Amino acid sequence: MAKTPKYVYLFGNKKADGDGSMKPLLGGKGANLAEMARIGLPVPPGFTITTEVCTYYYQNKKTYPKVLDPQVKAGMAHIEKIMGTKFGDKTAMPLLVSVRSGARDSMPGMMDTILNLGLNDETVLALVKATNNERFAWDCYRRFVQMYGDVVMGVQKRPGEDHEPFETVIHNLKHERYHEDIEDTKLTVDDLKELVVRFKGLIKERTGKEFPQDPWKQLWGAIGAVFGSWMNDRAIVYRRKYNIPSEWGTAVNVQAMVYGNTGERSGSGVAFTRNPANGEKEFYGEFLINAQGEDVVAGIRTPEPVVQLKNHLPQAFAELENIRKILEKHFKDVQDFEFTIQDGKVFMLQTRNGKRTAFAALKFSMDMVEEKLIDWKTAIRRNPADQLDQLLAPIFDQKAEKAAKVVATGLPAGPGAASGKIYLNADRAAAAAAKGEKVLLVRNETTPEDLRGMIAAEGILTAKGGVSSHAALVARQMGKVCVCGAGALQIDYAARTVTVSGQTFKEGDYMSINGTLGNVYAGEIKTAASEIVQVLIEKSLDPKKSKTYQMFKQLMDWCSKVTRLEVRTNADTPEQTENAIAFGATGIGLCRTEHMFFEGNRIDAMREMILADNLEDRKKALAKLLPYQKEDFVGIFKALNGYPATIRFLDPPLHEFLPHEDKAQQDLAQKMGVPVEKIRNRVKELHEFNPMLGFRGCRLGIVYPEISEMQARAVFEAAAEVQKAGIKVRPEIMIPLVGFKKELDLQVEVVHRVAQEVMKEKGVKLNYLVGTMIEVPRGALTADEIAQTAQFFSFGTNDLTQTCLGMSRDDSGSFIPAYTELEIVKKNPFATIDQTGVGQLMKIAVEKGRSTRPDIKLGICGEHGGDPDSVKFCHKIGLTYVSCSPFRVPVARLAAAQAALEEEAASAAKKPAKKK
Ligand code: ADP
Ligand code: MG
Ligand code: MG
């Protein structure tokens, strides 16, 4: 007989069935509770129901495996034994538990925890008796009925209601009895009892069901609710944003309650072992005296900084300081942990690697190497590549900020500078951002419902809540600028105004926030470049004076030590080229020559060329373009100073260069001295039903070889000139949109012929390559033939994605959101390479290309070249380089180094297995 599967893992009493490595099975919370128990930290006993049960639940019409029931019973018995109390005890201290969700990756605030489960009309009396604390017992009970009613029984805000119905009940009672919003801690026993009655009434009225009195029924209801919440809207939105697959599922943790609300010697808090906003090595976080955990993050009461705990409960503080050290030493990373103090005794309820800003990540990694907690390779992996560009984001212009009026201050929760039009509601904020406005989301506090608005906003400003409030947490993770708990703001949701310092701001008015200092300003403030940009690009800051730059440089230097993939840039001007090289690019991977035809008078010559109806006129117009184009290349070659440049020949359809509006056509006709009809007709002729698949790419150069000829001449004349000046030049000419070997052959012939001519004329020898883009499926599939001619391939993944998927990027806006929502595509394929589809074409092309030409140079030049996941994929399939926009170069370098380290780790893990 098969062994009974193990669905329940126990922890408690310095022991555990599981451990920290079991996150896929136990979820992040469960695995780390087990790990903390193992290393002897004070964790209340409990058990974890595995994520496999979640999967089973959804595959079997929301039912559980048969063997779960006895395993859960055994789990409860385990808790009872350690605690010395009984679940549902009506005569002595009853065992109460929390029921907590816990996915593999933490999903803050996405799923709801139920506290104090096991209370009913009888056990509450037993709790009163056992603790001799009537207020505490009834406070627990009313919290429990509220949470259970909300999370399990679904009593939630209805459309049109402004407040949560339970909050309305509390509000009404306070006003009936005290005529004002007193703090919850001021509610009397009688108030709390009355709340329990009214809550039960509300549940009955809204659901038609009674609040369940049987503790076991409560327990199974709560377990079902946690599994159910895996598919709620908020969880789905969050998973989509962070690309967490829905198959992973959540675990459920059932854990003995400890109480932070028994009085002044108790409390609850959230802390970080170091400051996750600025990276400083200081104990960071906050707590509330006489509160249960959810009060701290809910932002209802504003908590105190954790260091103040010293003044209230010095012993507990000392214990926490010690735990802080133990955690870092053990987990070797900055921890974000939750604790509760019950009558002076500290309990640990959660720990995880703390989310951090890009700046904090950088500082942590540098400091920890110095402290010998981690090595430099680990330091590279500790910096999330997709966050690195936060370090290059603008800050406020110093002068402008000094001149601006500070209207309020709050807590600096997400560093950086943000200026925008204020909106007080997430939907309106998202709508405004969709129209291209810069938006600042302003709220009293945020909840997971506000996520869409937070994603859309430049920055987030809240009036209430501390540094571990929802707003702060999410902002940190998304790298948003955030100021929270700016208590002076008076927000009127109905009137859509914010009043502060005697000034009233309407929705749509500008405000600005400095998330590094916590300042809130009236109006718009000019932003300035980040320190790194000031050092590297503007050269206005002395590198020795910028610590940020020093750390950034160290990180990049380490990256260079392990990277196999080169990082080039997409650049069409000397300036862009210089910027990219300053960021560490080692060449141009894509120089789009057509961009050069739009500037100043060049467009006139270009239009003349397009309007010409015979070869001679066309050549005349091209001759006018030649010096411009040559001049561009001279600048670029000089900027490259010896690095290679991949230059793509003309690619877009010609109609893109002609004016389409009547007035513009008339102006052009006048300027060129031709009848306007001629222009109109040519535009009509060039009109295509499907320009993306039309007369473009190498098709232009094949029909009009004189265009390619001019471009080749410009490249080689420039190369000759710069080489004569003593600078090495390495042009790599790239023919776009090739699907047939013959297409490439015809173009290469032109290039070689012109090269010979120029070398002879100028008396120099030039080294150059000719290759092609692989950007249509036929090109990928016949890569072995194409490689007979091509000396290099560069994957044009924008077009390759369009043509492989049969999906136009510019038209995909109308359905891609639905596709991501339905998880037809996991990520937008135009942002991250579709590895299973497009990726296969790339692999085929790599393999076939190498079979013909083993040393063929391989690169990528689509937008994907700056996307960390795509960079890692390119590393895996063995490309020589990726190319991306100049400001993405550091991101790509980091991703490339991480890819190399991941490969190293994977092959190290394989080795011992082979030996056996
Ligand atoms: P989230 O994933 O949203 O952080 P948690 O499961 O961590 O939810 O629970 C929220 C809060 O509830 C915790 O911060 C903790 O303070 C409190 N809590 C959870 N379990 C217990 C428990 N067994 N005893 C006391 N407080 C608890
Ligand atoms: Mg938590
Ligand atoms: Mg293309």
Residues 365, 381: Cα–Cα separation, whole Å? 9
Q: Residue 682 C-alpha to ligand 3 middle, in angstroms?
A: 24
Mean pLDDT along residues 570-586: 93
Residues 462, 450: Cα–Cα separation, whole Å? 12
285 pocket-lining for ligand 1 (C-beta < 6 Å): no
470: annotated active-site residue: yes
657 confidence band (pLDDT: 50, 70, 90)? confident
pLDDT over 70 at 386, yes or no = yes
In degrees, rounded to 5, the angle at the alpha carbon of residue 337 between the alpha carbons of residues 333 and 340 is: 155
Domains 258-355 and 393-531 fall in the same CATH topology? no
Residues 625, 596: Cα–Cα separation, whole Å? 10
78 pocket-lining for ligand 1 (C-beta < 6 Å): no
User: Which member of 54, 78, 470, 655 is catalytic?
Assistant: 470
DSSP tag of 21? T
For residue 756, what are the CA distances in angstroms to 136, 190, 632, 707? 91, 98, 21, 17
Residues 140, 147: Cα–Cα separation, whole Å? 11
Say which residues have a Cβ less than 8 Å from residue 599's Cβ, sequence separation at least 6.
none
Q: What pLDDT sits at residue 581?
A: 97
Residues 569, 559: Cα–Cα separation, whole Å? 17
Mean pLDDT along residues 682-696: 90
Pick the range with the lowest mean pLDDT from 321-335, 800-814, 832-846, 869-883: 800-814
DSSP code string of 199-227? HHHHHHHHHSSPPP--HHHHHHHHHHHHH
44 pocket-lining for ligand 1 (C-beta < 6 Å): yes
Mean pLDDT along residues 734-739: 98
335 bridge partner residues: 353
Q: Residue 339 C-alpha to ligand 1 middle, in angstroms?
A: 9
pLDDT over 50 at 743, yes or no = yes
CB atoms within 10 A of CB 470: 24
* Most confident option among 257-271, 387-401, 809-823: 257-271
Identity of the residue numbered 336: D
Say which residues have a Cβ less than 8 Å from residue 842's Cβ, sequence separation at least 6.
774, 780, 795, 797, 800, 833, 877
Test site for ligand 1: of 48, 115, 146, 268, most ligand atoms within 8 A of the Cβ: 115
Neighbours of ion ligand 3 (CB under 5 A): 775, 796, 799
Q: Residue 651 C-alpha to ligand 3 middle, in angstroms?
A: 7
906 confidence band (pLDDT: 50, 70, 90)? very high
Q: What pLDDT sits at residue 299?
A: 64
481 bridge partner residues: 459
- Exposure string over 69-85, b if 16+ CB within 10 A, otherwise e: eebbeebbebbbebbeb
| Strand ranges of the sheet holding 335-342, from the earlier edge strand across to the other edge | 304-305, 284-289, 267-272, 335-342, 345-353
Q: What pLDDT sits at residue 914?
A: 46
For residue 335, what are the CA distances in angstroms to 104, 130, 327? 16, 36, 7
Closest listed residue to residue 470, CA positions, set 320, 361, 355, 308 = 355
Q: Residue 350 C-alpha to ligand 2 middle, in angstroms?
A: 6
Mean pLDDT along residues 558-576: 94
270 bridge partner residues: 286, 338
For residue 561, what are the CA distances in angstroms to 474, 866, 905, 910? 34, 20, 16, 23
Residues 86, 84: Cα–Cα separation, whole Å? 7
448 pocket-lining for ligand 1 (C-beta < 6 Å): no
Q: What is the CA radius of gyration of the chain?
A: 32
688 pocket-lining for ligand 1 (C-beta < 6 Å): no
118 pocket-lining for ligand 1 (C-beta < 6 Å): no
Closest listed residue to residue 298, CA positions, set 170, 469, 450 = 469
Q: Residue 570 C-alpha to ligand 3 middle, in angstroms?
A: 13
Looking from the CA of 255 toward its CB, the CA atoms found within 13 Å total 29
255 pocket-lining for ligand 1 (C-beta < 6 Å): yes
The per-residue pLDDT for range 406-416, each reduced to its tens digit, is 999 998 888 78
Q: What pLDDT sits at residue 394?
A: 78
Task: Give phi and psi for 883, each to the nearest 5.
Answer: -135, 135
In degrees, rounded to 5, the angle at the alpha carbon of residue 841 between the alpha carbons of residues 807 and 790 is: 110
> In the CATH hierarchy, which top-level class contains the domain 258-355?
alpha beta
Test site for ligand 1: of 113, 261, 294, most ligand atoms within 8 A of the Cβ: 113
User: Which member of 140, 861, 874, 884 is catalytic?
Assistant: 861
Q: What pLDDT sits at residue 915?
A: 43
Mean pLDDT along residues 184-192: 93
477 confidence band (pLDDT: 50, 70, 90)? low
> Which residue puts its alpha carbon closest to atom 17 of ligand 1?
293
Q: How many residues does the chain have?
A: 916
Higher-confidence residue of 291 and 551: namely 551
Closest listed residue to residue 100, CA positions, set 343, 352, 316 = 352
Q: Residue 687 C-alpha to ligand 1 middle, in angstroms?
A: 63
Closest listed residue to residue 504, CA positions, set 590, 592, 570, 424 = 424
Higher-confidence residue of 300 and 236: namely 236
Packing angle, helices 676-686 and 602-611, rounded to 10 = 80
Q: What pLDDT sits at residue 110?
A: 55
Test site for ligand 1: of 338, 345, 351, 355, most ligand atoms within 8 A of the Cβ: 338
Q: What pLDDT sits at residue 197?
A: 97
DSSP SS3 for 529: coil
Residues 100, 703: Cα–Cα separation, whole Å? 67
The per-residue pLDDT for range 496-539, each reduced to its tens digit, is 999 999 999 999 999 999 988 899 999 999 888 889 999 999 99
DSSP SS3 for 58: helix
352 pocket-lining for ligand 1 (C-beta < 6 Å): no
The per-residue pLDDT for range 429-443, each reduced to its tens digit, is 999 999 999 999 999
- Do 528 and 394 form a contact (C-beta atoms < 8 A)? yes
Residues 887, 521: Cα–Cα separation, whole Å? 29
Say which residues have a Cβ less than 8 Å from residue 346's Cβ, sequence separation at least 6.
42, 316, 319, 320, 323, 339, 340
| H/E run at residue 135 | helix 134-147
Q: What pLDDT sits at residue 912?
A: 64
Closest listed residue to residue 123, CA positions, set 99, 149, 88, 150 = 88
Q: Residue 78 C-alpha to ligand 1 middle, in angstroms?
A: 20
Say which residue the tokens 């499926």 belong to: 777
Q: Which ligand is nearest to the CA of 111?
A: 1
Residues 763, 752: Cα–Cα separation, whole Å? 16
Q: What pLDDT sits at residue 598?
A: 76
656 confidence band (pLDDT: 50, 70, 90)? confident
261 pocket-lining for ligand 1 (C-beta < 6 Å): no
- Do 394 and 530 form a contact (C-beta atoms < 8 A)? yes
Q: Which ligand is nearest to the CA of 339?
A: 1
DSSP tag of 107? -
Q: What pLDDT sits at residue 916?
A: 38
CB atoms within 10 A of CB 678: 15
> Which residue puts its alpha carbon closest to atom 19 of ligand 1?
98
Q: Residue 505 C-alpha to ligand 3 middle, in angstroms?
A: 47
Closest listed residue to residue 747, CA positions, set 788, 704, 803 = 704
Q: Residue 775 C-alpha to ligand 3 middle, in angstroms?
A: 6
Identity of the residue numbered 613: D
The per-residue pLDDT for range 588-631, each reduced to its tens digit, is 999 998 878 877 778 888 889 998 889 999 999 999 999 999 99
115 pocket-lining for ligand 1 (C-beta < 6 Å): yes
- What the block records as the tokens of 680 is 């109109």
- What the block records as the tokens of 249 is 């599922």
The per-residue pLDDT for range 47-100, each reduced to its tens digit, is 999 999 999 999 999 999 999 999 999 999 999 999 999 999 999 999 999 999
Identity of the residue numbered 25: L
pLDDT over 50 at 758, yes or no = yes
CB atoms within 10 A of CB 497: 16
The CATH number fitting domain 393-531, selected from 3.40.50.970, 3.30.1050.10, 3.40.50.12280, 3.50.30.10: 3.50.30.10
32 pocket-lining for ligand 1 (C-beta < 6 Å): no
Question: What is the rounded average pLDDT for all residues in the chain?
Answer: 92
Mean pLDDT along residues 666-677: 89
Q: Which ligand is nearest to the CA of 296?
A: 1
99 pocket-lining for ligand 1 (C-beta < 6 Å): no
Q: Residue 793 C-alpha to ligand 3 middle, in angstroms?
A: 13
> Which residue puts its alpha carbon closest to atom 13 of ligand 1?
293
Say which residue the tokens 């509601």 belong to: 425
Q: Which ligand is nearest to the CA of 773?
A: 3
Test site for ligand 1: of 32, 270, 294, most ligand atoms within 8 A of the Cβ: 294
- Do 510 and 420 form a contact (C-beta atoms < 8 A)? yes
839 pocket-lining for ligand 1 (C-beta < 6 Å): no
Mean pLDDT along residues 131-141: 94
Mean pLDDT along residues 156-166: 87
Closest listed residue to residue 148, CA positions, set 89, 97, 211, 232 = 211
Own/partner pairs, 822-828, CB within 8 angstroms, 24+ separation: 823/240, 823/246, 826/243, 826/245, 827/243, 827/869
Closest listed residue to residue 238, CA positions, set 455, 403, 90 = 455
Looking from the CA of 137 toward its CB, the CA atoms found within 13 Å total 20
100 pocket-lining for ligand 1 (C-beta < 6 Å): yes
250 pocket-lining for ligand 1 (C-beta < 6 Å): no
| H/E run at residue 297 | helix 294-298
Domain extent listing, the chain: 258-355, 393-531
CB atoms within 10 A of CB 513: 33
Q: What percent of the chain has pLDDT over 90?
A: 75
864: annotated active-site residue: no
Q: What pLDDT sits at residue 407?
A: 95
Closest listed residue to residue 793, CA positions, set 872, 847, 849 = 849
CB atoms within 10 A of CB 847: 13
**Burial class of residue 828 (count of CB atoms within 10 Å of its CB; 0-12, 13-18, 19+):** middle
Higher-confidence residue of 297 and 665: namely 665
Strand positions, DSSP E, 150-272: 250-256, 267-272
Q: What pLDDT sits at residue 184?
A: 85
Residues 738, 731: Cα–Cα separation, whole Å? 19
Q: Which ligand is nearest to the CA of 650?
A: 3
Please give the number of the atom of ligand 1 that sits closest to the Cα of 106.
Answer: 2
CB atoms within 10 A of CB 726: 6
Say which residue the tokens 């009236």 belong to: 522
